[in-house]
Amino acid sequence: MPSRYETIAEAFWSHATPGSPTECWPWHGSLDLAGYGRFFWNGLTYKAHRVSLEIHGIAIPDHCFACHRCPLKSCVNVAHLYPGTPEQNVHDMMRLQRHWHGERHHRAKLTLKEVEHIRTLSPTHTNVALAAMFGVHNGTISRIVRGMNWRKHIDDPRTVHTGTRGSRGTKHYATHFTDDDVRHIRSLRPTHSLKILAQQFETTIGNISNICLYKSWRHVP
C-alpha cells in the first residue's frame, strides 16, 4: 500500500516536533525494543535517528552508526546525532548508560499500575492485543508478562525461565521471544542487517540468523 506521505521527510516530521538545538526532540511515533524511534514508509521500516541525519544532509558511511550525544535514545534532534564508527557507538553506550528502572527509566512509557494491569490481563489477552491497548511493542508486553522487565517492582511468583529443556518456541526455558516477535524479525530481514536486528531485539546475531534461516522456531510459519 503506498504511503500517504510523498517523501520520507514528510513521514519523519509527522512523528517529530523540532525544538531548540540544545534540547532533545523525543520521537512521538513507535519505538523498537531497544528504545529507538522507528516508522514505516512505502512498505519499509526506518530508524528515526538515522533518517534525521540523512534528511539534514549528513551522510552515514557504510559500517557506521547514527550515534547519540545525549542519553535519550528516542531523540531525533540532528544536533544530538552524528555518524560514528562501531567503536564510537560502543563508547557512547557505555558513557551514556543509565541504571534506572521502572517509571524512572528515560524510555519508560508505562507506569507501575499499568504494568500490574497488564499482568492481570495477560491470561485472557494476547500480547498483540495488550500492546495495542497500552501503546507499546508486543515484545515489551512479552517481557513484562514473563518477568524480564519490571521484575524488581512486581511481587509475582512467575519467573523468566519457564518451560523445560524439551520445550520449543515461547515455552522454551531460555526464550524471550514470542511467535509474533519471530514473524516480525523475519519480515524485517530483507531490509535490516543481522547486526541491527540483534541490537533491536536484544539478542545475538547467531540467534537472529537461526530464526531467519528457520534453524530455530521452525514451527512458526
108 and 42 part of one domain:
no
145 and 60 part of one domain:
no
Residue 58 lies in a domain: yes
What's the pLDDT at 159? 34
What's the pLDDT at 52? 97
139 and 162 part of one domain:
yes
The whole-model pTM stands at 0.46
Q: What is the DSSP string of 132-181?
A: HHHTS-HHHHHHHHTTSSSTTT---S--S--S-TT--GGGSTT----HHH
Among candidate residues 79, 95, 111, the one where a domain is terminated: 95
pLDDT (tens, 9 = 90+) of the chain, 221 residues, equals 456 888 999 999 999 999 998 999 999 988 887 788 999 888 888 999 999 999 999 999 888 889 999 888 899 999 999 999 877 877 777 776 543 334 334 344 667 777 887 888 888 777 777 776 677 777 777 777 877 666 544 444 333 333 333 444 444 433 456 777 788 889 888 888 888 887 777 677 888 888 999 888 888 88
Residue 2 lies in a domain: no
The amino acid at residue 153 is: H
Residue 221 lies in a domain: no
Among candidate residues 95, 129, 153, the one where a domain is terminated: 95
Q: At what angle do helices 127-134 and 112-121 cross, to 10 degrees?
A: 150
185 and 133 part of one domain:
yes
122 and 205 part of one domain:
yes
Number of domains in the chain: 2
Which residues sit opposite 168 in a β-bridge? none
Which domain covers residue 78, as residue numbers? 8-95
CATH of the domain at 90: 3.90.75.20
71 and 126 part of one domain:
no
Q: What φ, ψ does residue 58 adopt, rounded to 5°? A: -105, 110
> Using CA atoms in the order 183, 47, 82, 196, what is the torsion angle rounded to 10 degrees?
10
Among candidate residues 60, 95, 130, the one where a domain is terminated: 95
133 and 205 part of one domain:
yes
What's the pLDDT at 150? 62
119 and 206 part of one domain:
yes
What's the pLDDT at 58? 95
142 and 80 part of one domain:
no
121 and 182 part of one domain:
yes
How many CB atoms lie under 10 A from the CB of residue 121?
Answer: 15
